[in-house]
């Protein structure tokens, strides 16, 4: 019923039951190969085990049901895998590992694969935002603080801020995660002297980082992943929330230009809701609760946890799912977004120059002093609001020759009071290009081994 919203885009396929089963089997196959590389088992046995680690050979639902007896799905999976392998090689299925080794490593694989999809969508979002920032660097609009007009800004700078938030959040998702192999109590005792070699080969087989030592009850890697996902949801929620506000009828500065039926209402034929931004915000809004559950699971007792470890699987899966969905929805929103520069300028002009009051104060300070200048401009603003007169006329009268009408009009021109907006836009775009170049270099390096 809710999959269309909360399993949006490509992330769903990376975190579902089949994806978890695939990751668990990848870990088992890698373990067999690692044992063979370390001389612990025959290479032919490792090959036989790997040949059976095919998701289509197993029923994820049945394994899930059987997991109730042991408290995790690895135990029934290993039983089924051992049966499938058969012969002498079956003796070496799951050799030297404990269930948590396979489950934690599978979690890392699932998160890595899901994160790659999330980063790909985030890169498309960032490209779109960079284009908006550059195209609208001179598009004037009200800057708003506490939901009220403050100083003028440009939509280009607003988009640049969105770009930097999404781009830096995406970087965090690229942090390498470690494999897990420690055996029953984190000593790898069953593998003897070969234990460290097997652990190193295991990580290498999967393309994962090798940890200094097993992290069964040191949940730092999960906490770091949680933080990265929560940060991404925070960035998406901010951008989507701004789009929703800017698309309000009374504001009307942007619109999601979807096709027929997109953004419609069941009751109101005229509605054009920014449904992609709304959906992105809804997905991102679930992150805090899920992150809290994962952070709460960090305090785990002794060498292996009783309950806290197991409590991670569902919130981690759901956090990956809603983060990926949020980014995918934001991608759709940015692709649909249409900007209305005239409406932005019209909204800025609604207050008759009030957002430029600070500039007038700054200009008068050398003549009058900071506090008298502030009080004079404040009184002029109050009179303009109460009387409905234009601020420029009120100021010209109150300044009584200190500034001409033309000088006051120039001070109240928002185009002349944008500070370092252009510089900040250039910085955000440059940072985006730098991040993209690094990702391209990484992809090329991975492709060429």
Catalytic residues: 265, 304
φ, ψ for residue 183 (rounded to 5)?
75, -170
User: Which one, of 233, 206, 220, lies nearest residue 287 by Cα?
Assistant: 233
Q: Say how far apart CA 362 and CA 151 lie, in whole Å.
A: 14
d(CA 159, CA 135): 10
How many Cα atoms within 13 Å fall on the side-chain side of residue 121?
Answer: 23
Q: Is the torsion defined by CA of 313, 316, 318, 320 positive or negative?
A: negative
* DSSP secondary structure string for all residues of 64-121: HHHGGGTTSSHHHHHHHHHHHH-TGGGGGTTTT--HHHHHHHHHHHHHHHHHHHHHHH
User: Would the CA dihedral through 223, 228, 230, 231 be positive or negative?
Assistant: positive
Q: Is 137 helix (H, G, I), strand (E, B) or coil?
A: coil
Alpha helices by DSSP H, listed for 247-312, are: 275-284, 287-296
- 126 CB-side CA count, 13 A: 25
Residue 228 tokens read as 């990265």
Cα gap 321→115, rounded to integer Å: 10
Question: How many degrees, rounded to 5, is the angle at CA 176 between CA 174 and CA 181?
Answer: 150
Residue ranges of the alpha helices (H) in 247-369?
275-284, 287-296, 313-336, 341-349, 357-368
Q: How far is the C-alpha of 7 from the C-alpha of 325, rounded, in Å?
A: 6
Burial (Cβ within 10 Å: 0-12, 13-18, ≥19) of residue 362 = middle
Distance CA 322, CA 287 (A): 7
- CA neighbor of 296 nearest in space, from 307, 285, 286: 307
């Amino acid at each position: 019923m809710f999959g269309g919203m909360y399993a949006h885009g490509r992330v769903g396929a990376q975190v579902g039951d089949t994806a978890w089963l695939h990751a668990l089997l990848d870990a088992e196959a890698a373990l067999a190969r690692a044992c063979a590389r370390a001389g612990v088992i025959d290479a032919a046995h490792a090959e036989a085990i790997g040949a059976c680690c095919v998701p289509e050979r197993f029923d994820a639902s049945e394994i899930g049901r059987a997991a109730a007896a042991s408290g995790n799905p690895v135990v029934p999976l290993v039983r089924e895998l051992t049966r499938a392998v058969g012969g002498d090689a079956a003796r070496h299925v799951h050799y030297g590992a404990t269930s948590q080794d396979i489950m934690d490593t599978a979690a890392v694989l699932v998160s890595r694969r899901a994160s790659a999809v999330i980063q790909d969508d985030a890169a498309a979002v960032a490209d779109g935002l960079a284009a908006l920032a550059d195209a609208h660097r001179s598009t004037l609009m009200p800057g708003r603080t506490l939901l009220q007009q403050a100083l003028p800004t440009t939509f280009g700078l607003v988009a640049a801020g969105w770009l930097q938030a999404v781009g830096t959040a995406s970087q965090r998702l690229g942090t390498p995660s470690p494999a897990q192999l420690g055996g029953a109590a984190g000593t790898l005792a069953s593998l003897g002297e070969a234990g460290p070699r097997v652990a190193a080969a295991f990580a290498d087989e999967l393309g994962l980082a090798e940890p200094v030592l097993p992290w069964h009850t040191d949940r730092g890697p999960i906490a770091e992943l949680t933080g990265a996902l929560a940060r991404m949801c925070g960035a998406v929620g901010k951008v989507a929330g701004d789009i929703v506000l800017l698309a309000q009828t009374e504001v009307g500065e942007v619109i999601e230009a979807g096709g027929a039926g997109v953004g419609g209402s069941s009751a109101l034929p005229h509605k054009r809701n920014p449904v992609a931004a709304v959906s992105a915000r809804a997905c991102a809004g679930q992150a805090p609760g899920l992150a809290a559950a994962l952070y709460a699971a960090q305090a785990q007792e002794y060498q292996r946890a009783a309950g806290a470890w197991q409590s991670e699987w569902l919130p981690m899966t759901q956090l990956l799912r809603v983060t990926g969905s949020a980014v995918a929805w934001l991608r759709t929103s940015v692709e649909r977004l249409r900007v209305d520069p005239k409406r932005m300028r019209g909204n800025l002009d609604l207050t008759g120059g009030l957002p430029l009051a600070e500039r007038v104060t700054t200009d008068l300070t050398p003549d009058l002093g900071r506090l008298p200048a502030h009080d004079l401009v404040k009184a002029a603003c109050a009179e303009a609001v109460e009387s409905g007169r234009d601020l420029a006329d009120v100021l010209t009268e109150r300044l009584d020759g200190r500034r001409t009408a033309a000088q006051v009009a120039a001070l109240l021109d928002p185009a002349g009071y944008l500070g370092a907006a252009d510089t900040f836009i250039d910085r955000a775009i440059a940072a985006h290009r730098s991040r993209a170049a690094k990702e391209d270099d990484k992809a090329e390096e991975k492709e060429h081994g």
